[in-house]
């Protein structure tokens, strides 16, 4: 085992990492100072956390009589009560399991004790509670990173561990979820897995019952937080195995038999922790098991490996490419690593389960709790690179590029308007990649990959409509004539069609004047400007943009949508507008379509 110098490099690297994490958490983007859906307790975090005010402030785990008041006042989500679901008996159950509430409890308690004295409402969501969850997440992350360092030092030298810490914190999405979005479950579970690995090592050195108890409690807590993390039990069960030969399997089984009491104690401890959820479900529903995810489930037969890993919307390696080193590191880890069966089995099975979740666009955050395991593979790769300089010269510039990339993606994710959680397309991604600012008109690339930014040539007007001669409930008086009005009652416009003359052109550009009073900010409700190229009632090509991306409140603006003319024959062009269920009125006028060449 490599020795650890008192003033080791990895200590200083850890301090640098800690400074960066603290800066990101309290200065760059302090979520506890944000409001509504950007607050520390918002979206999924509010769902994890909801148990605590329900039980300890409002004493209402079943009926949730306080929920509407909290949702109206703090607006932690854009939707109705997504933190839980209504049961057949009229009660409510929380959507998420209760493990995070257990881990939040000390920080919630501290906030509740001081909130009144500081003049804040003791309602579970005022500023002290927001700060407590933010600070708690950061503190747990710092503890986890410190002990992750100690874990890796048991297998790799100080220089290797120092580099791995830099790659993790400076170069991966761990930075965001350990510092900014640190109320989320992922880095809390990262710390749980670090302690599980350490206690597994200590257990196999002595087979002491105290380590068995710790292992059981940690496996139980991981499972209580995310039920699929029951697979964490594979780490202590398979530890020490470096192959799946009959001899290795027999040796592992013999150890189980010799130390069956310790393994039994671990199982009992895990079951005790997991039973907290079962008792809660029994209390609110009358049943021991409740499935609360409402339409979300695992598809083991068709996991979304490609979308989950590489999509532009939320791909794990698209937005945290540093972790691709873990896959490369499997090769040297297989050659030189220890405990290969436990590490690789957990790594690959967890990756498979994460990809099998049907809403794959929840992104790479779901892999973070497995990073303590993945870091063994990255460390193996770094170790080889330090011994073989040509590999180091290959990897070093790539790692530096990934660090820059992670800095960029962390920045645009929280500041500016470049990143869009729901509408990142390939065309838009490559237009903004590495940039800190970009022209506002490229927002159309989120939906429409066709955008011509040059000077049009040979322009020809194919269609115009100022709606002055149109009749019906869709139209309203406008200065100088009539305008098309979309609102809550009129969601879909008529189709505006014209025959395509078949002239030689490379592009079509549809333009209209849009006026709004109040901007629609929710992406899925934004009004859409749609152009379809049709051949004998069959759609050949369709392009769409969400016009509110280019509109501000009380603004009138001409907005265009470009369509690159396909090689496929089409005989007509259809244009329509759809309001996306928004209640914000939108006035549209002076529709015009031109054909042009590059």
| Strand-strand pairing, 496-499 and 586-597 | unpaired
Token readout for 54 is 């329900």
Q: Is 124 left (phi over 0), alpha (psi -120 to 50) or beta?
A: left
On the question of pLDDT at 1 being above 90, the answer is: no
Average pLDDT over residues 180-192: 98
On the question of pLDDT at 486 being above 80, the answer is: yes
C-alpha closest to that of 344 among 246, 445, 241: 241
**What pLDDT, on a 0 to 100 scale, did the predictor assign at position 7?**
55
pLDDT band, residue 6 (cuts 50/70/90)? low
Residue-wise pLDDT tens digits, 111-163: 999 999 999 999 999 999 999 999 999 999 999 999 999 999 999 999 999 99
Of all residues in the chain, the percent with pLDDT exceeding 70 is 99
DSSP per-residue letters across 29-98: --GGG--GGGSSS-HHHHHHHTHHHHHHTS--TTT-TTHHHHHHHH--SSSSSTTEEE-TTS-EEESS-S
The chain-wide mean pLDDT, for the chain, equals: 95
Residue-wise pLDDT tens digits, 289-348: 999 998 899 999 999 999 999 999 999 999 999 999 999 999 999 999 999 999 999 999
On the question of pLDDT at 3 being above 60, the answer is: no
Q: Is the dihedral of CA 103, 108, 111, 112 positive or negative?
A: negative
**What pLDDT, on a 0 to 100 scale, did the predictor assign at position 4?**
47
* The length of the chain, given as a count of residues: 598
Q: How far apart are CA 333 and CA 370, in angstroms?
A: 16
Average pLDDT over residues 28-49: 97
**What pLDDT, on a 0 to 100 scale, did the predictor assign at position 523?**
86
For 443-597, the fitting CATH number among 2.60.40.10, 3.40.50.1000, 2.60.120.260, 1.10.287.610 is 2.60.120.260
CATH 2.60.120.260 residue spans of the chain: 443-597
Average pLDDT over residues 251-274: 97
Helix axes 9-23, 158-171, angle to 10 degrees: 10
**Whether 271 contacts 212, CB under 8 Å:** no
Q: How far apart are CA 435 and CA 243, in angstroms?
A: 47
Q: How far apart are CA 531 and CA 500, in angstroms?
A: 13
Q: How far apart are CA 75 and CA 278, in angstroms?
A: 29
**Whether 49 contacts 95, CB under 8 Å:** no
Q: How far apart are CA 147 and CA 197, in angstroms?
A: 10
* Residues paired with 499 in a beta bridge: 572
Q: How far apart are CA 193 and CA 126, in angstroms?
A: 31
């Amino acid at each position: 085992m490599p020795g650890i110098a008192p003033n080791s490099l990895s200590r200083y690297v850890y301090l640098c990492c800690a400074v960066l994490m603290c800066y990101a958490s309290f200065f760059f983007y302090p979520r506890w100072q944000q409001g509504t859906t950007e607050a520390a307790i918002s979206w999924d975090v509010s769902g994890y956390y909801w148990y605590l005010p329900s039980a300890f402030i409002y004493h209402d785990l079943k009926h949730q009589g306080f929920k509407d008041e909290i949702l109206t006042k703090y607006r932690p989500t854009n939707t109705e009560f997504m933190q839980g679901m209504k049961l057949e008996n009229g009660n409510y159950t929380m959507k998420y399991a209760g493990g995070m509430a257990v881990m939040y409890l000390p920080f919630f308690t501290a906030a509740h004790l001081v909130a009144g004295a500081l003049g804040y409402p003791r309602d579970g969501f005022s500023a002290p509670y927001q700060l407590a969850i933010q600070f708690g997440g950061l503190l747990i992350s710092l503890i986890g990173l410190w002990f992750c360092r100690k874990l890796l030092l048991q297998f790799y030298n100080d220089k290797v561990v120092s580099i791995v810490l830099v790659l993790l914190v400076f170069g991966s999405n761990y930075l965001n979820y350990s510092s900014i979005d640190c109320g989320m479950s992922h880095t809390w579970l990262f710390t749980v897995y670090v302690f599980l690995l350490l206690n597994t090592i200590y257990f196999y050195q002595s087979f002491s019952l105290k380590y068995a108890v710790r292992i059981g409690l940690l496996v139980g807590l991981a499972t209580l937080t995310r039920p699929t993390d029951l697979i964490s039990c594979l780490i202590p069960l398979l530890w020490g195995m470096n192959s799946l030969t009959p001899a290795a399997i027999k040796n592992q089984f013999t150890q189980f038999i010799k130390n069956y009491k310790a393994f039994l104690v671990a199982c009992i401890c895990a079951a005790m922790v997991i039973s907290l959820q079962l008792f809660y479900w029994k209390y609110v529903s009358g049943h021991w098991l409740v499935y609360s995810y409402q339409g979300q489930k695992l598809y083991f037969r068709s996991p979304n490996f490609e979308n989950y890993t590489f999509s532009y919307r939320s791909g794990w390696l698209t937005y945290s490419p540093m972790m691709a080193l873990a896959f490369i590191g499997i090769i040297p880890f297989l050659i030189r690593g220890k405990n290969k069966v436990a590490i690789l089995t957990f790594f690959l099975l967890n990756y498979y389960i994460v990809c099998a979740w049907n809403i794959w666009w929840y992104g790479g955050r779901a892999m973070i709790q497995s990073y303590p395991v993945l870091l063994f593979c990255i460390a193996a790769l770094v170790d080889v690179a330090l011994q073989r300089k040509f590999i180091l010269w290959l990897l070093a510039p790539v790692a530096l590029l990934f660090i820059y990339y992670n800095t960029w993606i962390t920045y645009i994710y929280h500041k500016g308007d470049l990143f869009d959680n729901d509408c990142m397309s390939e065309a838009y991604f490559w237009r903004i990649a590495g940039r800190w600012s970009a022209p506002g008109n490229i927002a159309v690339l989120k939906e429409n990959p066709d955008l011509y930014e040059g000077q049009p040539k040979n322009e020809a007007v194919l269609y115009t409509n100022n709606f002055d001669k149109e009749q019906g409930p869709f139209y309203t008086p406008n200065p100088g004539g009539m305008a098309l009005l979309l609102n809550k009652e009129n969601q879909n416009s008529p189709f505006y069609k014209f025959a395509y003359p078949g002239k030689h052109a490379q592009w079509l550009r549809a333009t209209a004047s849009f006026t709004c009073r109040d901007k629609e900010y929710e992406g899925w409700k934004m009004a859409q400007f749609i152009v379809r190229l049709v051949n004998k009632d069959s759609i050949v090509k369709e392009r769409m943009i969400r016009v509110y991306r280019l509109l501000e409140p009380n603004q009138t603006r001409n907005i265009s949508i470009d369509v690159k003319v396909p090689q496929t024959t089409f005989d007509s062009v259809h244009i329509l507008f759809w309001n996306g269920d928004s209640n914000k009125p939108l006035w549209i006028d002076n529709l015009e379509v031109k054909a042009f060449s590059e």
